[in-house]
Amino acid sequence: MTMAIDNILNRLDRVKETGRGKYLACCPAHEDRSPSLSIGEDDGRVLLHCFAGCDPESVLDAIGLTFSDLYPEPLGHHFKSSPMRTSPREILASLDHESLVVALIGADFIRRKSLDQETWSRLAKSVNRINSARAQVAPLKQWHGPQQATSKTSDRSEARESA
């Protein structure tokens, strides 16, 4: 039993152990004639449930505690961070597929084939997927579509015309 659950149990009335690490007590958040508050401990966490419907915050408030009193360490300290969620092989397969989509759409564009909204949406989706894959492997400044390329090209054209 941890200090957190001891701290709670010492502030409750008619505490009865119902199993290993499980207790029943009168709920301090409402007038309780028979125990309706379940208190348990699971993996270092204190669990509270009032069968009459009181929320845990009201129960804790009634005994002068807060949620931070239940958890000596911040939540999430048990989780390991993983820098890469996708394997390198999956990233390469995705890049291969998405670059093929971009190449096919580009070929249609070069042949002056009219591109409908669905095709433009698919092109944007491919660019986003390529950027996401790149960001997982090595974060770089990402390209956000043809607007940047067009504006740079027109800037160069204007510079040539003025020269």
Q: Give the pLDDT confidence of 92-107 residue by residue, as tens digits.
A: 888 889 999 999 999 9
For 69-91, write each residue's pLDDT tens digit: 776 665 555 555 555 567 788 88
- Of all residues in the chain, the percent with pLDDT exceeding 90 is 36
pTM (2 d.p.):
0.45
Question: In angstroms, rounded to a whole number, what is the distance separating the alpha carbons of residues 160 and 163?
Answer: 5
Phi and psi at 80, nearest 5°, equal -95, 140
Q: Are 103 and 127 in contact (CB under 8 A)?
A: no
> Does 124 have pLDDT greater than 60?
yes
Would you list the domain boundaries of the chain?
3-70, 88-146
Query: How high is the pLDDT of residue 148?
Result: 43
Distance CA 10, CA 25 (A): 11
* pLDDT score at 68: 78
Angstrom CA distances, 3 to 8, 70, 72, 98, stand at: 9, 9, 9, 54
* pLDDT attached to residue 80: 57
